[in-house]
Structure 1
Amino acid sequence: MIRKELTVHFNTPAFLGNAEQNGQWRTPPFKHLLREWWRVAWAEARGFNINLGEMRRTEGRLFGVAADEGDTRKSQVRIRLGRWDIGKEKNWGKGLKVFHPEVGKNGISVGSDLYLGYGPLTYDKNTKGTRLKANAGIQAGEKNDLKLAYPSTEQAMLDRALALASAFGALGGRARNGWGSLELDGGDLPGLDQLPLRDWRECLTLEWAHAIGQDENGPLIWKTGHFSNWSELMKILAKLKIDLRTSFTFNSGNNAHRPEPRHWLSYPVTNHSVRSWGRDARLPNTLRFKVRRADNGGLYGVIFHMPCKPP
């Protein structure tokens, strides 16, 4: 068995809800993150020539299967946290604001934290600011020990998955918007001289995120400047997301005959359904945000595209 001892460092607040929906350090979200990036590493190793049935069987043998009849398997990957504390982030404050042209009649300023974190975060009518929907979240800057054990035969793939999770991964509610951005220190993880890249048009042949998109100019990855704190950086990411989404104007309303460019960012879109996709189809944000630590002690944002076909 291979044993890894890592340190988890959150760069932005994380919303890891327990049974009471309070933020708490728990192992299931970390296992989910590892599985997500293991699938990317598995697909990459096969040149994205993917047999979905084979992948599911391999994943089940490695991470375990809970089945009602017959095929239950125990996970070969063991994960342990140093502690299971409740989060300490309880008083959110008003936060920063960013202008949104599609809210209200002529546009208004909205909370940047609330825009990127709606769900775990909510609007407080009394304070006219943002507050946590539940009792607590995990604060930015919190650390914890993460210990893993897995078969030596799976080391290359799992080490690759851990390295990708550290570079691009985030945990918890609204993770694709940059909340719960984490980094994994220690463990002698491999470098990322090569990334799991695929032409973005080919990515649309599969219904799950399996690669970072690229076009004729290179990887669809961008970086922001450096910021001294996460709140200022999240404001910039909120503005970027608003500007990008609203730059794609709709030419149709509900029940459109074909998807428009904005639909490919995420779906559904209020008052802009697509007939062939229906109202129940879901396409989570394919443009993802990540917050990383900079060498100078500040933070910077990473924006990357993981396109896929709507289910």
Structure 2
Amino acid sequence: MARTHIEYDLSFATPAFVGDAAQQAQWRTPPLKALIRQWWRVVKAPQVSFNVDGPYGLRVHEAQLFGSASDKQANQSLVKLRLQDWAGGRLENSTWPRQEMGKIPLGKPGQVIRADLYLGFGPITPASSKKGLAEQVRRAIDPQKQRNKLSVFFARTATENQIDEVRQAIQLASWFGGIGSRSRNGWGSITLQGDTIPRLPPSPNVLAAYCQPFRGCFTLDRDWPHAIGKDELGPLVWVGRRDGAPFRNWREAVLFLATVRRSVRCAAKRFGRNQDISANQLIAYPVTQSNNGKWGNDERIAGSLRLKVVETGQGLVPVAVHLPCAVPRVLFDKLSSSDQQWINSHQLDIWVAVHRDIDQKMNRLGAAK
């Protein structure tokens, strides 16, 4: 009989802005289940030849495992999560360590910004002199003081293959995932310990089943994060900064991630723009001071480059992973034919430049140091 209950020790390496209904930080299972589902799709996608729809497509398998409430198919989830503690976050605006935050340079000489503001705009709201408003930081789960336990239960009807797929997804989530606001910038970097999960992926070989050549990941039928990219150097996974030294605390780690993100934006920016589209909009959208008249302010492109911090026991280690995918079809179709052609001609070169830039700052997984 398949094992039907697995437990994990749960913690964060960086503050987690995980909001409840009132946008106040609290341990909650829905974002954890959403994270597991995201990485389960990466596990399952190659088994269905990356087909989303159809009688044997990804949606059908996902509904069978995680439940569905649609008119055509309604069934309960075979996976249930339980947290030991549902306490609220303890890191509040009044105790946010502003004075310990490093700063990164912006475009103009002498222009700098605090690393936490740069990575956390939204949950961290800068002061507004025009409105007379002070800076506010939304309450967060404190990575230094708060821990939890996660129990994962499987229905007796779950197959061994389904259970194994979820276990693989949880392993990937622990290596590369985060939850809450701005988690792709490194906030809410989650650690799930137990079930023999190593803190970091031990070699590129363990990721082989989840990787695809990144140059083939931009077809319009793959406009969702379906695989970890790889190039001639291996998986597009970076672990640790170039000198190999871990960070002593999350403030140092956030400063480094902010430096990486800023540098990536600069590397893309060198490719400029066409009519409505710019290189930086392909990294993530919206972009400050880079409008797209066809998309407006309400559309979103989630960043396919994910930043993460991992607690190794000897210190904090930065991690980056790229899950390349096409511009969402609904947004691509809104662009002019000139902008569409510009994307098709430039997006590979833009991402090659981004990868090379990260190679200068971090170590490729498995590369000789």
User: Could you tell me the TM-score, scaled by structure 1's length?
Assistant: 0.87
1:246 corresponds to 2:258: no
Distance 2:206 2:137 in 1: 39
Distance 1:10 1:99 in 2: 24
More strand per residue: 1
- Which residue of the partner structure matches residue 106 of structure 2? 101
- Which residue of the partner structure matches residue 194 of structure 1? 206
- Which residue of the partner structure matches residue 177 of structure 1? 185
Contact residue 50 and residue 226 of structure 2 kept, 8 A:
no
Q: Which of 292, 309, 324 is residue 307 of structure 1 equivalent to? A: 324
Distance 2:159 2:51 in 1: 24
Deviations 1:27-75 (A, max 9, x none): 10111011001000001445xx2120111011011111123x3532211
1:264 corresponds to 2:279: no
State the 1:176 CA deviation: 0.3
- Which residue of the partner structure matches residue 27 of structure 1? 29
State the 1:15 CA deviation: 0.8
1:156 corresponds to 2:160: no
Alignment partner of 2:251: what SS? helix
- Which residue of the partner structure matches residue 225 of structure 2? 209
1:55 corresponds to 2:58: yes
Contact residue 282 and residue 310 of structure 1 kept, 8 A:
no
Distance 1:252 1:187 in 2: 47
Alignment partner of 1:262: what SS? helix
Q: Which of 96, 108, 122 is residue 119 of structure 1 equivalent to? A: 122
Distance 1:187 1:130 in 2: 42
State the 1:282 CA deviation: 2.8
State the 1:295 CA deviation: 4.1
Where do 5+ consecutive residues of structure 1 fail to align? none
Alignment partner of 2:116: what SS? helix
State the 1:130 CA deviation: 5.4
Where do 5+ consecutive residues of structure 2 fail to align? 329-369
Contact residue 8 and residue 151 of structure 2 kept, 8 A:
yes
Distance 2:65 2:43 in 1: 14
State the 1:10 CA deviation: 0.9
- Which residue of the partner structure matches residue 137 of structure 2? 132
State the 1:174 CA deviation: 0.4
- After TM superposition, list the pairs within 5 Å mapping 1:273-292 onto structure 2: 273=291, 278-279=295-296, 281-292=299-310
Contact residue 25 and residue 140 of structure 2 kept, 8 A:
yes
Distance 2:74 2:321 in 1: 36
- After TM superposition, list the pairs within 5 Å mapping 1:2-13 onto structure 2: 2-13=4-15
Code of the aligned partner of 2:259 = K
Deviations 1:154-207 (A, max 9, x none): 122111111111111111110001111111111245876421111112121211
1:227 corresponds to 2:247: yes
Distance 2:118 2:181 in 1: 13
User: Could you tell me the TM-score, scaled by structure 2's length?
Assistant: 0.74
Distance 1:96 1:287 in 2: 23
- Which residue of the partner structure matches residue 151 of structure 2? 147
Deviates more, 1:238-247 or 1:192-201: 192-201
State the 1:264 CA deviation: 2.5
Code of the aligned partner of 2:302 = P
Over 3 Å counting, the alpha-carbon distance change for 1:270 and 1:109 in structure 2 is closer
Distance 1:132 1:44 in 2: 41
Distance 1:129 1:252 in 2: 35
Alignment partner of 2:122: what SS? coil
Deviations 1:203-254 (A, max 9, x none): 212111111111112222222241100101110110111122123335656x
- Which residue of the partner structure matches residue 16 of structure 1? 18
- After TM superposition, list the pairs within 5 Å mapping 1:75-90 onto structure 2: 75-90=77-92
State the 1:260 CA deviation: 4.8
Over 3 Å counting, the alpha-carbon distance change for 1:101 and 1:44 in structure 2 is same
State the 1:149 CA deviation: 1.2
Contact residue 227 and residue 300 of structure 1 kept, 8 A:
yes
* % same residue: 35
Distance 2:106 2:249 in 1: 26
Aligned pair count reads: 300
1:43 corresponds to 2:48: no
Distance 1:82 1:203 in 2: 39
State the 1:107 CA deviation: 5.5
Contact residue 106 and residue 113 of structure 2 kept, 8 A:
no
Over 3 Å counting, the alpha-carbon distance change for 1:9 and 1:252 in structure 2 is closer
